Amino acid sequence: MSIEFSKKLTARETPIPGVVLYDLPVHGDNRGWFKENWQREKMVALGLPDFRPVQNNISFNEKAGTTRGIHAEPWDKFISVASGRIFGAWVDLRAGPSFGAVFTAELDASQAIFIPRGVGNAFQTLEDNTAYTYLVNDHWSADAQGQYTFLNLADETAAIGWPVPLEQAELSDKDKAHPRLADVVPMPPKKILVVGADGQLGKALRKLYDGDSSVEFAGRAEFDLGNEDCFTTRNWRNYSTIINAAAYTAVDTAETPDGRAAAWAVNVTAVARLARTAVDHDLTLVHVSSDYVFDGTREILTEDEPFSPLGVYGQTKAAGDAVVSVVPSHYIVRTSWVIGEGNNFVNTMASLAERGIAPSVVNDQTGRLSFTEDIAAGIRHLLQSGAPYGTYNLSNEGEPQTWADIAGDVYELVTGSRDGVKGVSTSEYFKGKDAAPRPMNSTLVLDKLRAAGFVPAASPGRLRDYLDNRTRS
């Protein structure tokens, strides 16, 4: 069978999600032929994942009928034929709704196919002296071999129509002994690692992902961001995403010498380590930002406003954002006035209301609360929906309020009256105190998040629910 020359580079979807068959332009004359077997720029533009291959393997097969597979490996593969012709068979062995889906095709030198991690790959040579070549995006190791998933070539459920009957084909004894589909343990998805999992946002992510074995949680005891060994001893091949829920948030203490060093260590140095890990291992990095990266002089804050932090905390958060922005696959989730499980403004006001204490509360800083359950849900939505990478503002919906307005709402919900709250200016509240400067306006524009398909809950209803749950607890 002769090779078809001068095809247009095209991509064709298959019944297996993520498996894409490509026609390759092959240029030939009386001397032979030439093709661009892997051309990153053109193929990425066509939709091929930028899977960053690190190893190129060639399988030479002397006789027609040589049959290899079905092996699902813990990496992605880009497969083509250098000489001869094959019958390829692919079976989805990943956990999920497409488990067991089958696709077959004959490939010559003018075709290639992309096979994602966890899809079983097999082929049978149709000509003598067939050379089968493939790029992979991880290095083979004995440890990785233990993560393979296999399927028997003769599985009745897959019912692959091998051109050369298996009893006449050349097979290895190992391939003959592989299990039927009913006995295959599906390859699990890559994991999401949540670091800083014991803080307010980390606790909300734990609740949201409760029961999901593909999400792993690590507090400081399990993953110390200040310890470089935590980054070098973990097998990052098994992960797809890191969610960074850790941060140094002691705004006033950050202005002291010790606090400044601690803030930079957690909010910048550790974030740089996470970013390097994400780049090296092609991971998605989710990072939580703050309204404190701005000076608050603008009435509303969009994602693309230039940084203008007032204090050390804001400076470290802005520096962390800049570091994360160079990671190809990243989400920076910018929040304001975070409320979750633990010490926070709403809990403090509720406690004061219950004890009959009348507080003075700042009435010239404006913004919206961000409840951690909505931040967590927004992060999950961005990851699951495949929203474009970049920065997203994420607070709760509702009219902007001052801290005094919110305190009044808390008092009214707890005691039935707002009268216990006295509004004061920022300068008056912090007079005679060592305090970091605060942005006067923290109202985040949510249009980009809504366009991505996520609408956070309205703040008044979320506040009511939060206080009801607090009372019951």
H-helix or E-strand spanning residue 91: strand 86-92
CB crowding 112-123: b at 16 or more within 10 Å, else e: bbbbbbbbbbbb
* Residue 403 to residue 251: CA distance in whole angstroms: 16
Q: What is the pLDDT of residue 7?
A: 82
pTM of the model: 0.88
| Inter-residue contact 244 to 192 (CB < 8 Å) | no
Q: Which domains does the chain have, with CATH numbers?
A: 10-183 (2.60.120.10), 191-472 (3.40.50.720)
In terms of Cβ atoms closer than 10 Å to its own Cβ (0-12, 13-18, 19+), residue 320 is: buried
pLDDT tens across 329-384, in order?
Answer: 999 999 999 999 989 999 999 999 999 999 999 999 999 999 999 999 999 999 99
Percent of the chain with pLDDT over 90: 87
Average pLDDT, the chain: 94
- Cα atoms in the 13 Å half-sphere on the side-chain side of 311: 23
Among 276, 369, 379, residue whose Cα is nearest residue 333: 379
Q: Comparing 40-54, 371-385, 405-419, which segment has the lowest mean pLDDT?
A: 40-54
- Cα atoms in the 13 Å half-sphere on the side-chain side of 77: 21
Q: What is the pLDDT of residue 404?
A: 97
Catalogue the active-site residues.
71, 134
Pick the residue with more confidence: 132 or 29? 132
* Residues near 41 by beta carbon (within 8 Å), at least 6 away in sequence: none
In terms of Cβ atoms closer than 10 Å to its own Cβ (0-12, 13-18, 19+), residue 473 is: exposed
Mean pLDDT in residue range 190-217: 96
Label residue 416 left, alpha or beta by phi (over 0 means left) and psi (-120 to 50 means alpha): left
Residue spans of beta strands (DSSP E) within 336-455 = 338-339, 360-362, 366-367, 370-371, 390-393, 401-402, 422-424
Binning pLDDT at 50, 70 and 90, where does residue 31 land? confident
Among 71, 27, 78, residue whose Cα is nearest residue 49: 78
Q: Please determine, for residue 266, whether its predicted confidence score (pLDDT) is greater than 80.
A: yes
Q: What is the pLDDT of residue 108?
A: 93
Binning pLDDT at 50, 70 and 90, where does residue 472 land? very low
Cβ neighbours, 10 Å, residue 156: 10
